[in-house]
Amino acid sequence: MRDFVQTLHEEIGKDPEQRARELSRRELPKRFYKEAAHRETEGGYAIHLDGRPVKTPGKQTLLLPSDRLGAAVAAEWAAQEKEINPARMPLTRIANSALDAVSVRFDEVADDIVRFAGNDALCYRADDPESLIDTQCRLWDPVVDWAGMLLGGRFVLIEGIIHAPQPDALLAAYRARISGETPLRLAALHTITSLTGSALLALALRESHLDADSVWKAAHVEEDFNIERWGEDAEAARVRAYKRTEFDAAVLILREA
């Protein structure tokens, strides 16, 4: 089992599309257990396979902070069929990365989220066509304005792709706001930020300012615009569906951790 969990651990830091491509080329390990369950123990809820607790690559017991999250992770293991497919276990991967990586690299992960805020997708606007500009304004302006008010400043909007720095005070306020997160929640925030390209959307979700569907819609304004004009590519649709599964797993952690 340790070899498989090590494989999961190696996925930390890869974007979902890259991870999906790599996992699809691997020879998947066979399912070796009959039953997956979660059990309450000291410090949280442990995942058991045929009565044996699952360990992280760092040899820690895989613990979840709530009954619902424990049940959801156990369900990922139970849902595996003849083979164990890491691509279908986003909660397990996030939990492993939180315990073994984020817990000892908390500042690096938090700083990376703040770097996204400094180059946030919501601050970079199209200069045409008018319909895309209008949609960006309608969906993005309220989030940018809300985040600025929450953090005590105003984000700079940029037309085109030329970088413009955001106010240092705003970024420092963002960093302070997430400094008290648990490693698991921070890992989930980083996942959401990476998938949406927006630390502001991740913050809106964290603060319950927007729900998951609204965040997902705002993150795909340009993609949806292109689909309306040119139609949807089957492979792009598959990748987007995979990313939504990753996104939903991170959202569940923010709600339940």
Residue 254 DSSP SS3: helix
Beta-strand pair 124-125/63-64:
unpaired
Q: Does residue 129 sit in the same domain as residue 234? A: yes
Domain with residue 149: its CATH number is 1.10.3580.10
Model pLDDT for residues 61-95, shown as the tens digit of each residue: 999 999 999 999 999 999 998 988 888 999 999 99
Label residue 108 exposed, middle or buried (CB < 10 Å: 0-12, 13-18, 19+): exposed
Q: Does residue 56 sit in the same domain as residue 117? A: no
Nearest to 250 by CA among 190, 180, 162: 190
Residue 169's identity, in one-letter code, is A
Residue 129's identity, in one-letter code, is P
pLDDT of 2 > 50? The answer is: no
Q: Does residue 18 sit in the same domain as residue 143? A: no
- Does residue 62 lie in a domain region? yes
Task: Supply the pLDDT for residue 18.
Answer: 60
Model pLDDT for residues 165-201, shown as the tens digit of each residue: 999 999 999 999 999 999 999 999 999 999 999 999 9
- Does residue 219 lie in a domain region? yes
- Does residue 94 lie in a domain region? no
Helix intervals (H) in the chain: 2-9, 16-25, 67-79, 90-97, 106-118, 130-151, 168-178, 183-196, 199-206, 212-219, 221-230, 234-256
- Does residue 95 lie in a domain region? no
| The two structure tokens encoding residue 62 | 């895989």
Model pLDDT for residues 92-107, shown as the tens digit of each residue: 999 999 999 999 999 9
| The two structure tokens encoding residue 74 | 């156990």
Number of domains in the chain: 2
Domain containing 50: what range? 2-85
